[in-house]
Structure formats: C-alpha cells, structure tokens
C-alpha cells in the first residue's frame, strides 16, 4: 500500500481513532502506537492495523497477532 490516494483513511484506523479507542478501553496509546503504527500517508498521517488494534483491545494485551497467521501454501504441506 504505497499510494492509497483518496482511500488512505480507509486502509486502517487513523491516529485520532486509535487515541479514542485506547481512551474508551483504558489502554495506553503510546504502547499501541509502538506496536501497530503501520503506515504514514502525507494527507492523513499515521494509519494503524485494524486487526491488530482490535486484537489488542479484545485480549487486553499487546502482541504480534500476525505471527499466528499462515499462508495457503503452508496448509498444503
């Protein structure tokens, strides 16, 4: 996702959205930022992985949730 143009704000959560989510769920924004700040787009700023942010909120802990995923090829072995 190198040039999302007008779709940039839909790639993930904006920083303002993540700050609100963290506040509502009593989680540290700074730590969320260190883990899941995935992209930066000139017009809207930092964008965060929605999957990772929601996983952190649901589990009440930060972690690398993508390491538990696998590709289709791996399942064929």
The answer to whether 53 touches 33, Cβ cutoff 8 Å, is no
pLDDT, tens digit (0-9, with 9 covering 90-100), for 30-68: 998 988 777 887 878 888 888 889 989 999 988 776 555
3-state secondary structure of 56: helix
pLDDT score for 51: 85
pLDDT score for 4: 61
- The model scores a pTM over 0.85: no
User: Which token pair is 30?
Assistant: 């700074």
pLDDT score for 20: 96
Region for residue 28 given its phi and psi (left: phi exceeds 0; alpha: psi -120 to 50; beta: otherwise): beta
């Amino acid at each position: 996702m190198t040039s999302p143009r007008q779709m940039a704000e839909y790639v993930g959560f904006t920083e303002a959205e993540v700050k609100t989510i963290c506040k509502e769920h009593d989680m540290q924004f700074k730590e969320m930022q260190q883990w899941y700040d995935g992209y930066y787009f000139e017009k809207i700023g930092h964008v965060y992985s929605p999957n990772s942010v929601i996983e952190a909120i649901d589990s009440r802990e930060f972690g690398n949730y993508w390491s538990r995923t696998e590709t289709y090829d791996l399942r064929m072995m």
